[in-house]
Structures are given as C-alpha cells and as structure tokens.
Structure 1
Amino acid sequence: MDLINHPSIYIFLGLLFGLLFGFYLRKRFIEGHTQNIKEQAKQLIETAIVEAEQLKKEAQLQSKEEAYQVKQAAEEELKSDRSELKDERQQLNQKREQLKKEWESCDRKRAELQQSNEKLNGRKQEIDEKLKEIENVIGKQRYELSRIAGISQEEAKKLLMESLESKARMDAAKRLAQIENEMKIEADRKAKNYIALAISRYAGDYVADKTVSMVPLPNDEMKGRIIGREGRNIRAIEAATGIDIIIDDTPEAVILSGFNPVRREVARLALHQLIGDGRIHPGRIEEVVGKVTKELEVDMREAGEQATFDVGAHGVHVELIKILGRLKFRTSYGQNVLQHSLEVAFLCGIMAAELGLDVKLAKRAGLLHDI
C-alpha cells in the first residue's frame, strides 16, 4: 500500500495546516487587540494628561482668585481701619482743643479770682488807712476840746468818742453794705459762670417719653388674634400687665396706654414676643409676661449698675441700684429720670471740681438726688 496516497496523510496534513493557520490568525488577532489596547491606553493617558493640565490651570485660577479676594478683603479692612483711625485722631484732636480751651477758661477764672482778692486786699488797706486817719483826727480834736473847754482829757475823750462813734458806725455800716452787695454780685456772676462752664463741658441727651406706646403689627389680621375669641386674649394681657390695650383704626398697630412706664414696657415686650411667636392664648400670655417681667428686672438692675459705674459711685447698696434702674422707665416733665440723674451727677462733679470740693461725693449726691 502506498503511504503517500493514503487518506489519513491528507487528513493529517489538513489538520496540521489548519492548526498552523489558526495559530497565525490567533497571533494576528492578539497583536491587533494588543495594539488597540495600547492605543486606548495611550488615548486614556493623553486624556488624563489634558484633564490634569486643565485641573491644574483651574486650580491655579481659583487660587489666584481666592488670593485676589483675600487681598481685596485685607485692603478693604485696612482702608476701614485707617479711616477709623483717622476719625479717632480727629476726635482726639478736637478733645485736645476743647480741653485746651477749658484750661484757658480756668486760667482766666483764676486770674479773675486773684484780681478780686487783690481788690479786696486793697479795700482792706484803704479801710485801715481811714481808721488811722480817724484816730489821728480824734487825737487832735481831743486836745483842742480839752484846751478850749477847760475840761479834763477823760471828759473830752468821752464826748469825742460818743460823737465819732455814731458817725463811724454809720460809715462802717454803709461801707459793709456796699462791700456785701458787691460780693453778692460777684458771687452770682461766678456761680453763673461755673454753671455755664459745667453745662458746656457736659452735653447730655434729652430723652422724652409718653404715657402711651405703639406696637407695630405685621398685618391688621393680627388685631383679631390679639383680641381672641370673645376678647379672652386681650383681657388676659390687660390683667397680667395692668395696661390698657387700645385697638382702633390705626393701620397695622395697637396702642398701649398706662401711667406706669415699667408695666407699659412689660406689655410692649410681651406683645412683641407673642406676635413673633404666633401662639396667643391666655396660658401662653401669662408665661410670656412672667418671663418678660424677670428679664426687665435684670435689665433695670444692669441699668442701675451701669449708671453707678458711669459716674464712679462705688459701694452703692443693691436696693438703691434696683431703684435707680427703675428710673430708666420713668419720666418727669417729659425727660427720662435716669438720664436726668446722670446729667445732674456729671454737672455736680464738674462744679465740685471747679470749687475744689469732693468730686466723687458730689457725683454720688447728684445721681441719687431723685430717689
């Protein structure tokens, strides 16, 4: 049998050729796939590089923008600080000029007082000289009367003394009345100058108050909620605060009326909280009024402590501080009593300094004079 022409040889060769061709195709496929992967990887790398560069640029721009904003903020703050410093310097210069003028005014007052003392000393010397002249005249007249009348020296002395005593008394009384009148005029002038100086050195704020307060409302519908069903809410507020609530045609507002300013302030604050909270009913009203009352007591005590601190009055009894704080909500002739007491305290201190008296004691007396 011929092996070359045997069918198995062709089958074997066919399989071998198929395997070789398969390996070739697989190799080409793997090489192509590998090339694709490499190209994709290259594209991914290039894309990542581009994105990284873009992110880097964006980060740099953002960093520059933030740095610019920080710089601008710092420059604005520096500009504001410089402006405030400039204003403070101007105020300081004004204070210096004012103190300089006040010092010059004090020097003028001292010079005037010195001149007045010199005038008084001069008048005293004139009176002493007049008394000496009178004594000389009395001696001469005594001798003449004794010589002419032929009476004793003692009798002549007695007659002369009786004659001149009446005249001397009248002259002295006239002179003393004149000096007293001049001193009263001078004292009145200096007192007015001291008061004017004290007022010019302390310019207090004038605070006026009324017997009514107005509470703004967000809308007119709130008036109905304040009144409540069958008027329960408004009666509860009036009972808790002791203040009359007037609801009229005034748009978006209610009026609180009462002569007690502390109670009126409690009602105002309580109503403001109730309106802001939105829960308005008798139970909530009592709770808010009690809370506001305690807060206002703390506020009044702090106001009293601040007043004593402002005038330098230390060691004031705590009850006096509480009473003093209540003056914050009281008025007299349209002026806030606490502010008035502070003004009186500072004016008393200035006048005491001008007169050489105890400044702290004067301020303390002025602060507490309305209690």
Structure 2
Amino acid sequence: MNTSIVVASAVIGLSILLTVAYKKSVIDKKIDELNNLEDEIVKAKLKAKEIVEGSEKEALAKSKEIELKAKEKVYHLKEEAEKEIKTAKSDIYQKETRLAKKEETLDRKIDRLEVKSQELTEFEQKIQNKNSEIEELRSKQEMELERISGFSKDEAKDLLITKLTNELTHETAMKIKEFENKLSEEKERVSKRILSTAIGKASADYVVDATVSVVNLPNDEMKGRIIGREGRNIRAIEALTGVDVIIDDTPEAVVLSSFDGVKREIARNTIEKLVTDGRIHPAKIEEAVNKAKKEVNKEIVEAGEHALLELGIPGMHQEIIKTLGKLKFRTSYGQNVLTHSIEVARLAGNLAAELGANTELAKRAGLLHDVGKVLEHDIEASHALIGGEFLKKFGEKPLVLNAVMAHHNEVEFESVEAILIQAADAISASRPGARRETLSTYLKRLEGLEEIANSFDGVESSFAIQAGREVRIIINPESIKDDQAIKMSRDVAKKVEETMQYPGQIKVTVIRETRAVDYAK
C-alpha cells in the first residue's frame, strides 16, 4: 500500500512538473512575442517619425512652390489690369476730344438759331401787320356789300344757308326716291328669279285624291255576298274598319267613304282580299281586316322612310316616320298631303339654297310642316300647333318646331327658314292643278268673299273673280277718301284671314274713281 502511494505521489509530482514546464515554455514564447512586438513598435515609431519629417519637408516645399505661383499670377493680373486701365484712359481721352468738338458745333448752331429766331420774330410782326390791313379791308368790303344788298351779314348768311338746305333736301329726296325705285325693281326681279328657279326644280303631279275610294268587283253578284245575310257582312266590315260601305247602282263597284284615308285604305284592301278569296263571312272579314291593317301599317312606314330617302334627310324618330307615312292617305282640298309635304320640302330647300340659308333645316321643316293634320281629329287646335307639340315630344330641334308652328302665322318667326316654309307652302298650294274644291265649297267661298266686302261702309258693289283668288270692291268716292280706301283693303284682307278657310292667297283690290257725266243736247 505504501508503495502504491509513493508511486502515485511520484506520478502526480511528475505530472505537476510537466505541467509547470509546459506553462513555462508557453510563457517564454509569449514573452518572446512581446519582445518582438516591442521591437516592431520601436521600428514603427522610428518609421513614422521619418515619414512625418519627410512630409513636413515636402509640405514646406509645396507651400513655397504655391507661393511662387501665386506671386507670379498676381504679377500677370496686375500687368493685365494696367493695360486695361491704359486702354480705358485712351478711350476716355478720345471721347472727351469728340465731345469737345460737338460742343463747339452745337454752340455755332445755337448762334445761327438765335439769328433765325430774331428774323422769324420780325417776319411774324410783318404778317400781323398785313393781317390787320386785310381785316380792315374785309370790314370795309362787308359794310359796302351790306349797303348794296340791303341785308346784314347775319341775314345774308341765314338766307344762303336756307337756300342751300332746301336744295340739298330736294336733291336728297330725289336720290332716296330713285334708290327706292331701283331697290323695288331689283327686289321684284330677284324674288321672281329665286321663285322661278325653286319652282322649276320641283315638279309635282296634278291632284287625284278624294275622300272616297272605289273597289271594282268581278260581277254584281259579289255585291250581295258583301252585304251578306240580313246585312251582317257589310255591318262587320263597317264596324271593324270604321268606313261607310256604299253599295248603289254603280255596276260592278263598291264605294268606300271616310275622311280618314288610312281607314279607307284598310277597308279597300280588306274587300279586295275577300273578293279574291271568295269566302265572305264575319270571321273571315275579321281575319282579312287584321291582315290589311298589318299591310297598311307596313306601307305607312315605307312611305315615311321613302320620303326621307327621297329628300336625303337624316334619321328621324320611328313614331314621327309612322305619322308622316299616314299623310299618304290624307288629302287637303283634294291634294295628297304627303306629296304636298315632299313638294314643300323641295321648294323650301331650293329657296334656302338660292338665299344661302340652311337647306337641311328647310327641307326637314318643310316635310314635317303638316304632320299635325294626322292628329287634328283627336285634338281641338290648329294642325300647325298640334304638329309642333307632337314633334317636341320626340326631340326635334327648336328651329324645326318654330317653322312648323309658324307656317300659318300662329307664332312669331324665329328664322329665315321658317319664312321660307310658309312661302313654299303657299307656292305648292296655289300652283295650277294643285288643289280642287267641290262646287258647293267653291260657291260658298265666293259668296263669303262678297259678303265680307259688302259688310264695310261705303261699298257700292263687290265681285269675287279669278276663281275666288281676288275680290274687287267698288266704293263710293264721295264717302271714302283715298287714304280710307287703302285702309279698307287692309281691313278686308284681315277679316278674310280671320273668318275664312281657303287654299293659297286672296288678293283684295279696292277701286275708287270719280266720273263726271254730262249730256250734249
């Protein structure tokens, strides 16, 4: 046991010695490293000192070099400044020399001007003296003229001015009268040219429409079949179409009567279908009426679209086109209203082109001006106002609405085109063959014209002539003067406009003459 302890102690002691020896060697290495570091630090310090000393020497050399360069530059700048100063002094000297010469020149001119001024003063004095002499002579002449003429200066001046004024007034009046005559002649010539050109470009057919339609039948036996048992077929046709079916002694024909052209066309189409089919009874009649309505409605739209296409007018609301197409089946004084509207559109467009107005607006308003005639059965008002309100619902422009509503003078004109629509409407209505009237209507119009004329005081007799286009009134020259005759023509024309319905225009001529009669015995 003691041996083991001794051995263990020896081992421990040995390990301690080894450990101490190892640590000592490590410490020695560290000391050597520290010594080396100290040597390097000393060397670094010496090197740094050398570098600093070298830098100071180099900086000192650089500063001396910069100082030399700065001194050299200052010298050059000073030399340039001295040259500029010398040049400036030279320029100043030259300018001073020129100014001195100019001062001498100005002094000489001032001396000459003073001499001239003195001469002018003397001349003005002479002129003043001459003016005094002239004024004195003028006064003597005026006094002598006043003595010779017997008028004072103011009286003579007033007389001369009055005479000149009268002469100028007369010449001015003559010139104005001459100008007015030329203007009237030129206005009439230009108006005739424009109207003749516009009418020449628009052609239209003679009137052919009326308020009745005739349906031809293959034989008279068909009349009985149309009437039906106890008249049931004819009653069904009249009830479904709203048209009066007249069956008289006219051979192989049935007459349809209605003021509504659309209904009359539906009835005509229905009867033609029934005659072609051969089966005529209430159920078949209803079927034929429905088919006829569809066909007529299609024809109406096509008529409206054809009118737009024919005139080259841009798109329009479908409801307006449909209403416009219905004018194909309406007449006014026997004139087809759609044909009349197309004619008015062409005339208005031609007139607008001649005058430099808006042709598109004129054509559009001309085509639509009578669209209210389709609606006037349902509304109590003028067709012009009805048409304007109808078009307003579908977004037509204000100028188009005004032209439509103003073409019978029920509203004020707002454009040249509106006036052209009225003129074109009158031309289309009054041209030969455009319209016709029944004999009774024609006679009533003549009687009405004469009654209106005879209702005025001082009228001896009146005559409606030119197929009712003119009324001539013979007045008593003792009770009616010339001025009153002029007023009477206006009053009669106004009363005719307010109380009568007529196509075109009516001329009112009042005749006043004085006759002196005596007999040789």
Q: TM-score range by the shorter chain?
A: 0.5 to 0.7
Deviation >6 Å, runs of 4+: 143-146
Amino acid in structure 2 at the alignment position of 1:212: V
The 2-side partners of 1:146 and 1:314 are apart by 87
Contact 2:142–2:153 (CA under 8 A) maintained in structure 1: no
The 2-side partners of 1:146 and 1:162 are apart by 23
Deviation at 1:335, TM superposition (A): 1.7
Q: Which residue does the alignment assign to 1:70?
A: none
Range moving further from structure 2, 173-182 or 267-276: 173-182
Secondary structure in structure 2 of the residue aligned to 1:301: helix
Q: Which residue does the alignment assign to 1:249?
A: 249
The 2-side partners of 1:251 and 1:283 are apart by 27
Q: Which residue does the alignment assign to 1:320?
A: 320
Amino acid in structure 2 at the alignment position of 1:210: A
Contact 2:211–2:331 (CA under 8 A) maintained in structure 1: no
Q: Which residue does the alignment assign to 1:192?
A: 192
Deviation at 1:207, TM superposition (A): 4.1
| 1:269 and 2:297 correspond | no
TM value normalised by structure 1: 0.56
Change (3 A) 1:179 1:238: same
Change (3 A) 1:271 1:172: same
User: For residues 164-313 of structure 1, what are the structure 2 equivalents within 5 Å?
Assistant: 164-313=164-313
The 2-side partners of 1:147 and 1:313 are apart by 82
Secondary structure in structure 1 of the residue aligned to 2:153: coil
Identify which of structures 1 and 2 has the higher relative contact order when contacts are C-alpha pairs closer than 8 Å and 6+ apart: 1
Contact 1:348–1:366 (CA under 8 A) maintained in structure 2: yes
Secondary structure in structure 1 of the residue aligned to 2:328: helix
Amino acid in structure 1 at the alignment position of 2:187: A
User: For residues 62-141 of structure 1, what are the structure 2 equivalents within 5 Å?
Assistant: none
Contact 1:207–1:339 (CA under 8 A) maintained in structure 2: no
The 1-side partners of 2:227 and 2:144 are apart by 109
Secondary structure in structure 2 of the residue aligned to 1:313: coil
Tell me the percent identity.
56
Deviation at 1:160, TM superposition (A): 4.0
Contact 1:300–1:325 (CA under 8 A) maintained in structure 2: yes
The 2-side partners of 1:202 and 1:265 are apart by 28
Deviation at 1:176, TM superposition (A): 1.3
Contact 1:236–1:282 (CA under 8 A) maintained in structure 2: yes
Q: Which residue does the alignment assign to 1:363?
A: 363
TM value normalised by structure 2: 0.40
Amino acid in structure 1 at the alignment position of 2:282: P
Deviations 1:286-307 (CA, angstroms, capped at 9, x unpaired):
2221231232122112211111
The 1-side partners of 2:184 and 2:319 are apart by 42
Deviations 1:88-109 (CA, angstroms, capped at 9, x unpaired):
xxxxxxxxxxxxxxxxxxxxxx
The 2-side partners of 1:215 and 1:146 are apart by 108
Secondary structure in structure 2 of the residue aligned to 1:179: helix
The number of equivalent residue pairs is 227
Q: Which residue does the alignment assign to 1:76?
A: none
Deviations 1:158-206 (CA, angstroms, capped at 9, x unpaired):
5544443344334323321331122122211221122222222332223
Range moving further from structure 2, 157-166 or 274-283: 157-166
The structure in which a higher percent of residues are helix is: 1
Change (3 A) 1:254 1:157: same
Secondary structure in structure 2 of the residue aligned to 1:315: coil
Deviations 1:203-224 (CA, angstroms, capped at 9, x unpaired):
2223411121111112221111
The 2-side partners of 1:307 and 1:316 are apart by 11
Amino acid in structure 1 at the alignment position of 2:341: S
The 2-side partners of 1:352 and 1:156 are apart by 59
Q: Which residue does the alignment assign to 1:48?
A: none
Deviations 1:125-159 (CA, angstroms, capped at 9, x unpaired):
xxxxxxxxxxxxxxxxxx9999544425xx76555
Uncovered stretches (5+) of structure 2, i.e. residues with no partner: 1-140, 372-521
The 2-side partners of 1:212 and 1:316 are apart by 31
Change (3 A) 1:349 1:145: farther
The 1-side partners of 2:343 and 2:334 are apart by 15
Uncovered stretches (5+) of structure 1, i.e. residues with no partner: 1-142
Contact 1:304–1:325 (CA under 8 A) maintained in structure 2: yes
Bigger Rg over Cα: 2
The 2-side partners of 1:212 and 1:165 are apart by 73
Deviations 1:8-46 (CA, angstroms, capped at 9, x unpaired):
xxxxxxxxxxxxxxxxxxxxxxxxxxxxxxxxxxxxxxx
